[in-house]
Amino acid sequence: MEHTQTITGAPPLAHEGAPAVPSFEIIPVKAIPLVALAIAGLVAAIVSEELWALEFAHVVAGGLWTGIDLFVGLIIGPILGRLSPQGRVEFSTRFMPKMVLLMPTLVAITLVAGWSLANHTGDIAVAYPDHWWLTASFIVVGIMSVIALGFLEPANLAVLFELKKPQPNPELIGRLMRRFVYASGITGIMQLATLIIMTRIATW
């Protein structure tokens, strides 16, 4: 049974009542076996030392990471900003818990498989100046990690916990959501650099 919580502290709305928060899980527990399966697949790919398996893990996880970052930052973010408070709450309670599990999994698989792949193909041993492309990818990933782990993910979690309160603070949620959307936008734009670097390395 779905139960709702009314945000009594919400500012007055012209055409609708105060946003109601649907029941939701902060961590979608049912998806944890899928995460474990993905990690097991990654370990199997590394142990097998099969080029295809490593390439698959890196390209699929990296492609999804890049695509989701771009899509959320540049498409979903601006749409979210124009939704009604009720729409934002409905969307956030369904969307953000999934991101809590999905993004760290994709990032971990991309990085671990990428490092193993670069060792397997010998790309890691390429001399400078070509090695600068690899170094550039490390720098871009490093900056994105600091933004994602320093700003985006904490804002995501804080919003979800705030929405679980009997009386969530709409002002705080708005502030944290803005941080989430801006951080997503910045990482989305930085993913364009990743696309350039990775396609360059892939065509050496």
Of 68-127, which residues contact another protein (CB under 8 A)? 104, 108, 111-112, 115-116, 119, 124-125
Of 35-54, which residues contact another protein (CB under 8 A)? 39, 42-43, 46
Of 159-178, which residues contact another protein (CB under 8 A)? 161-162, 165, 169, 172
Backbone angles phi, psi at 18, to 5 degrees: -65, 145
Nearest C-alpha neighbor of 102 from the set 138, 71, 152, 61 = 61
Of 122-161, which residues contact another protein (CB under 8 A)? 124-125, 131, 134-135, 138-139, 142, 145-146, 149-151, 153-155, 157-158, 161
| Whether 120 contacts 51, CB under 8 Å | yes
For 66, other C-beta atoms within 10 Å of its C-beta total 20
Which residue, 139 or 202, has its beta carbon nearer to another protein?
Answer: 139
Residue 5 pairs in a beta bridge with 21
Query: Where on the phi/psi map is residue 50: left (φ > 0), alpha (ψ -120 to 50), or beta?
Result: beta
Q: Total residues contacting another protein (rule CB under 8 A)?
A: 35
* CA gap 60, 51 in Å, rounded: 14
Q: How far is CA 131 from the centre of its chain?
A: 28
Residue 29 binds another protein, judged by CB under 8 A: no
Residues in contact with another protein by the rule CB under 8 A: 27, 39, 42-43, 46, 104, 108, 111-112, 115-116, 119, 124-125, 131, 134-135, 138-139, 142, 145-146, 149-151, 153-155, 157-158, 161-162, 165, 169, 172
